[in-house]
Structure 1
């Protein structure tokens, strides 16, 4: 086992080197790695690195499509490496290392690193197009958007604060990622405010009157569209309300789970033969089963190996099933290209082996290091039954297990009261011991001597002293009854002094909160939503009659799912409060922050539709993405509302200010959204064992950002008009009262 203070990858490398040296010293022997979390970590880090690079390249490609000038594209793209280098420095001083989570944070923030630079450069360009001198355009252009991009950056960062200070798996796993994203965004803000203006003023000549950006991508149609939209604002707002209501109707239809399942190419098969089966028989059965699996899987199988009997130090399987001479474990590893077919392979083997009489079969999907750290369990479904009487608990347990077997989402049902090991119980009759004048201790010692042996001296052999122990060989129950016990001056058989019988003892007896407890464990079908499986189980269990003081509780991943959902819901609410406080400070208003924060439910529309269309369940990773959306979705509205305020402060009429601000800000809004979306896209389609863990977070952000961007450009101007009109009406009514005071 690895010491906690050592790095897993380094420990594996050292071990591989030692094994290589051992192999040279033992020719003819082959060493096969049974478990190697170092390979998983290396592969996962490599996947995230590739994803990060692809995301950056896609973001730069989007910039070039909009800008159509290599020089200008490079000016904005410079924000990425500079921000990344600055982030590495901040990580170093905060003792953060490069790992799956911190690199994942960089991958999540890759597209956002250029957002601030795009807004700054685009505003400088607009002023140049209006004929302003380069130096003046750089100063005024940066100053006009400085407050807006600062506010948008802070809103994105503050949503991570509740996650950082939460307790449990959410905080432990995402704390490093949150800090990394925060450092990256702060770095990008500094680059946009200082580096980009310097590069523009240095690299572009003031003699050329053409714009810094010569972009063929124009949105001239949006001006007329926005004008008609504002005129029909009541209809637009009504349609938006209907859309939000219809989307809310879909939420209960989405499944929910604790963590997404990783497509691991490995699984373990646990075989259990009748109690008392010899180790030789168990080994023979395991070898035969291994041959059957090879025939069933064919070329899909990369490696299979087995272990028969009990070995408490074995890491062949991650399961904690009770081992004995009658049990065997077979670890199956599929070829990498068939990793997505693991569930089909399990079903195929299960359907064949369950027809074999006298053998119980169970399956365990192997978990990755990240899933293990997040607390996923080998049996996701767990039901606790508690009460006082052991026999009553056993009755309820068996009845519940039979009923739960009707749930199509569950398989591999086992219980904590599964038949234990057979034992021989010797109940000594104290009346007879008194009659024969023999003590209980004497009887116990004599039986122990027969079965375990008694020392009978020692002898010298090859210069070493060897102990001599005399004991009986393996004996039957009948022979045990006939063991002669010395009782005073006579010898009597053990059966004369005690009642001897065979019993089956339970494997474990647990207590919690002063009550006896027992458990039902099961695996769940990955193609069914976990929360629906639990609901169906609860519905089936309604038919079970429970005496008073007996109750059932869903534990396992269901308990963790509820806890994480509760924690992340609190984090979402707190993050929204923080976002509102930042916006209220920026705009010095209570009304306008409400307008801007309406983009958050609009983002929720896209997230819910994305998961509904793809048939995916919401999980902890998706909830983290939703919390991120709370800070990202408002950025477009901040830029838009800030420009409207600037134009109205300059004396422009409300409708004209809304339309002009929309036409001026649509290009940076579309560009920043596209760079963020395309930079996240590789996270949704990445391949590898950890890709399925990153995908829900990226899908939540992408879906929400698409809907919030499109709907912001349509709905927010209309909502701004309505709220501003209402505010003016309220101020008009209150004005006489104020003057009277």
Structure 2
């Protein structure tokens, strides 16, 4: 029988892996959703199963839910819902203070109608309810009422003029329909390029235009067809209640401000129009100088707050699992030290659970950047410690601050090849990632060592490493001439050594759903050391046995852990992280590119470099965004030229775009934020929003000009007439985003730059629309008259000649 000649063990496959959960041995079971399943429903089912199963478990065995992503999702959804509701209330209050209460109600009704329309289309666009899509709704909250404000205010003005509701709705809606339609289309054109941004960031944030654009289109339908119908039935008030009297105070106060402040200032600006224009241009120049002077920094992608932090460690390949466990223990001790310090400082235990893995890196494999989930990191030289923190709303320190303290408390682990700490939900790559490429591996390693040494000299740069990994120690076998006389070949030698130490699969047995492999090999105690190899006996073809040392030669060495090639050349990546509170990755990369790397490459001929990681993602995404921005500007120009029937007036209107960017930059400085990729998203979207008020202003100037022979009078009357709707559209956009900008929770921190760009840009552009657009209109008219005078020797050559600044149909 087999048991008489061999020891039979029915057990699990041998592995150098084990895990601890809160210092107890554990087995981790991962549960994922598939297809259209809801993450919240899956999480609820898991929690229900755990609660039902716990009472029946044996003593000493427990079930704990770990790394439940649904709690993070719920917290962020709650933050978005809360800010969205607060923004809606603020928008309604702004409208109610400056418009008649019922008018404010019907204008605000456009928000839920637009949102419901967009929600109806979300499944078809493959958009789910998540943090980004909810942020898109908040972003568009104050924008969707812009067209309704313009239509409603114009309808209300007509109704006040003659007191007829239906007639006022028809006249007011028809008069403003063309500029409103094209104003919405210009905003759609500005958001459209955000759908086609390349790279990882583009895939994540393409949800924003997929939500915003349907909202805008539905708001257009509501403002032109539904809102006038509602406003036509508003009766004239016969008595004034307290709310009406309060509203009248604000309305009368605004009228007084327009008459006593805005109109005289506008007249002064028109009189000194070139000085006014010079002040505007100076503002652009000063702001540009402040940006170049470093008053605000560019950080491509800010850290996204996480409730889990992790430290992964990589030892030299071939390291015994016991040494890896000892190194992992240093990470655990560092975490325990930070835990005690936080308890002493805050009185709260920031750490909910701690998970330790030896022989594996589950968090790194799952969240290691763009290739996450493609790595099966299982080997005895790998280890990881992960910590679940209190929810971000319940702690004063961010996950990045906690992980920085953990890094300091752990200190250096010299025996490790690489130690990395992670505190972000998503990152486009390493802050610093320089890929060195060349044909000579020795030169590459020397160049990588020089770059690492230079990086170590920067303050705020840490976790410096390279991608070269020496392989496991190996024994290269050769066969002696004496062995060949015995009939042995190198293949026979290799096969027998493999069978003895790794095993030979004799057969497979099906046991239920499991496929059981039957492996034949030496007992564990006979295959643990090199001495066991030396004591091995090799079987000859005639059935005899000879000592291993008589027939085999052994050449010790190391193999390669991995080989990376780029364009048939070897490649090594040098990576590092940057503490943004000390310096920026942009500053470090600029110095590397201008000073360090040219010197390194001069010392190591045949080596070249390219930037990877965040820098590569930044070049890809920003380049795509810039191209999209140019296309958006062309589309906006074309859309403006159609209703205005002019090629000069669209340029006057688009002159507000640079000043919107000025407002966005100042907003970042006021809020203490760095300019990020999300800020650039906001700047592109801003280009379509800021032209809306300018379009309405220029349209009304054209209409007033058709009624007045004096251009100055036409401009003054148009400015006074459009002051209230222009102010309201800007205030609703700003106050709709204000709760998100003031949100102290770290859940919304990475979205705030886009909100700041849009909100402050629109507010600043409002003053430009009310002052510089009329001024620019008059300056262009001066230039046109001067050109005609030079061409014809006098003023107007022909009163019937068409003017690009006075398009046909302006009076219609």
Match of 2:560 among 481, 506, 511: 506
Match of 2:351 among 302, 317, 342: 302
> Structure 1 residues 208, 594: CA separation in 2 closer, same or farther (over 3 Å shift)?
farther
1:480 corresponds in structure 2 to: 533
Structure 1 residue runs of 5 or longer lacking an equivalent are 458-463
Offset from partner CA, 1:157-176 (integer Å, 9 cap, x none): 12122333454445533444
With 193-202 and 83-92 compared, the bigger mean Cα shift is at: 83-92
What RMSD over aligned residues (CA atoms) do the two structures have, in Å?
3.5
Is residue 182 from structure 1 mapped to residue 238 from structure 2 by the alignment? Answer: no
> Structure 1 residues 533, 334: CA separation in 2 closer, same or farther (over 3 Å shift)?
farther
CA distance in 1, matches of 2:800, 2:734: 52
CA distance in 2, matches of 1:479, 1:205: 102
2:696 corresponds in structure 1 to: 639
1:460 corresponds in structure 2 to: none
Match of 1:52 among 84, 94, 101: 84
Secondary structure of 1:270's aligned partner: strand
Is residue 444 from structure 1 mapped to residue 499 from structure 2 by the alignment? Answer: no
Secondary structure of 2:359's aligned partner: coil
Is residue 532 from structure 1 mapped to residue 587 from structure 2 by the alignment? Answer: yes
1:405 corresponds in structure 2 to: 456
Is residue 662 from structure 1 mapped to residue 719 from structure 2 by the alignment? Answer: yes
2:302 corresponds in structure 1 to: 260
Tell me, yes or no, if the aligned pair for 1:384 and 1:553 is still in contact at 8 Å.
yes
Is residue 42 from structure 1 mapped to residue 60 from structure 2 by the alignment? Answer: no
CA distance in 2, matches of 1:616, 1:386: 37
Tell me, yes or no, if the aligned pair for 1:164 and 1:171 is still in contact at 8 Å.
yes
Offset from partner CA, 1:685-726 (integer Å, 9 cap, x none): 335564123211101111211211122222111111011222
Secondary structure of 1:303's aligned partner: strand
Match of 2:474 among 399, 409, 424: 424
1:95 CA drift (Å): 6.0
Offset from partner CA, 1:272-325 (integer Å, 9 cap, x none): 556655434544554564344223223343234233422477778634695532
1:154 CA drift (Å): 1.3
With 443-452 and 623-632 compared, the bigger mean Cα shift is at: 443-452
> Structure 1 residues 128, 562: CA separation in 2 closer, same or farther (over 3 Å shift)?
same
CA distance in 1, matches of 2:800, 2:178: 33
1:474 CA drift (Å): 3.7
> Structure 1 residues 138, 96: CA separation in 2 closer, same or farther (over 3 Å shift)?
same
> Structure 1 residues 329, 317: CA separation in 2 closer, same or farther (over 3 Å shift)?
farther
> Structure 1 residues 652, 142: CA separation in 2 closer, same or farther (over 3 Å shift)?
farther
1:129-528 matched pairs, under 5 angstroms? 129-130=160-161, 133-169=164-200, 171-205=202-236, 214=248, 215-218=251-254, 219-220=258-259, 221-252=261-292, 253=294, 254-272=296-314, 277-280=319-322, 282-283=324-325, 286-287=328-329, 289-298=331-340, 299=343, 300-311=349-360, 318-319=367-368, 323-336=378-391, 337-338=394-395, 340-355=397-412, 358=415, 362-368=419-425, 371=426, 376-377=428-429, 379-421=430-472, 423-434=473-484, 438-452=488-502, 470-471=522-523, 473-485=526-538, 493-527=547-581, 528=583
Secondary structure of 2:306's aligned partner: coil
Tell me, yes or no, if the aligned pair for 1:509 and 1:518 is still in contact at 8 Å.
no
2:601 corresponds in structure 1 to: 545
1:577 CA drift (Å): 0.6
1:198 CA drift (Å): 2.6
1:57 CA drift (Å): 0.6
Offset from partner CA, 1:424-481 (integer Å, 9 cap, x none): 3234155454466532223223433443468999xxxxxx999875546145334533
CA distance in 2, matches of 1:722, 1:499: 92
> Structure 1 residues 453, 171: CA separation in 2 closer, same or farther (over 3 Å shift)?
closer
Secondary structure of 1:516's aligned partner: strand
> Structure 1 residues 263, 339: CA separation in 2 closer, same or farther (over 3 Å shift)?
farther
1:514 CA drift (Å): 1.1
CA distance in 2, matches of 1:143, 1:556: 54
1:720-731 matched pairs, under 5 angstroms? 720-731=777-788
CA distance in 2, matches of 1:722, 1:683: 39
CA distance in 2, matches of 1:465, 1:340: 51
Match of 1:605 among 634, 657, 662: 662
> Structure 1 residues 184, 192: CA separation in 2 closer, same or farther (over 3 Å shift)?
same
Tell me, yes or no, if the aligned pair for 2:361 and 2:383 is still in contact at 8 Å.
no
CA distance in 1, matches of 2:520, 2:488: 28
CA distance in 1, matches of 2:797, 2:339: 85
1:669 CA drift (Å): 1.0
Tell me, yes or no, if the aligned pair for 1:257 and 1:530 is still in contact at 8 Å.
yes
CA distance in 2, matches of 1:184, 1:308: 47
> Structure 1 residues 290, 520: CA separation in 2 closer, same or farther (over 3 Å shift)?
same
Secondary structure of 2:637's aligned partner: helix
CA distance in 2, matches of 1:738, 1:125: 36
CA distance in 2, matches of 1:592, 1:27: 80
Match of 1:63 among 95, 102, 107: 95
CA distance in 2, matches of 1:495, 1:534: 55
1:110 corresponds in structure 2 to: 141
Aligned residue-pair number = 726
- Point out which structure has higher relative CO (alpha carbons under 8 A, 6+ apart): 1
Tell me, yes or no, if the aligned pair for 2:337 and 2:409 is still in contact at 8 Å.
no
1:183 CA drift (Å): 2.0
1:552 CA drift (Å): 1.1
Tell me, yes or no, if the aligned pair for 2:159 and 2:167 is still in contact at 8 Å.
no
CA distance in 2, matches of 1:101, 1:450: 56
With 468-477 and 380-389 compared, the bigger mean Cα shift is at: 468-477
Structure 2 residue runs of 5 or longer lacking an equivalent are 1-31, 344-348, 369-374, 508-515, 802-812
With 27-36 and 641-650 compared, the bigger mean Cα shift is at: 27-36
CA distance in 2, matches of 1:354, 1:360: 14
Match of 1:686 among 732, 739, 743: 743
1:130 CA drift (Å): 4.6
1:672 CA drift (Å): 1.0
Secondary structure of 1:363's aligned partner: strand
1:49 CA drift (Å): 1.9
Tell me, yes or no, if the aligned pair for 1:258 and 1:564 is still in contact at 8 Å.
no
Tell me, yes or no, if the aligned pair for 1:418 and 1:507 is still in contact at 8 Å.
yes
Offset from partner CA, 1:667-687 (integer Å, 9 cap, x none): 111111001111012222335
Tell me, yes or no, if the aligned pair for 1:268 and 1:317 is still in contact at 8 Å.
no
Tell me, yes or no, if the aligned pair for 2:432 and 2:575 is still in contact at 8 Å.
yes
CA distance in 2, matches of 1:570, 1:267: 37
CA distance in 1, matches of 2:499, 2:143: 77
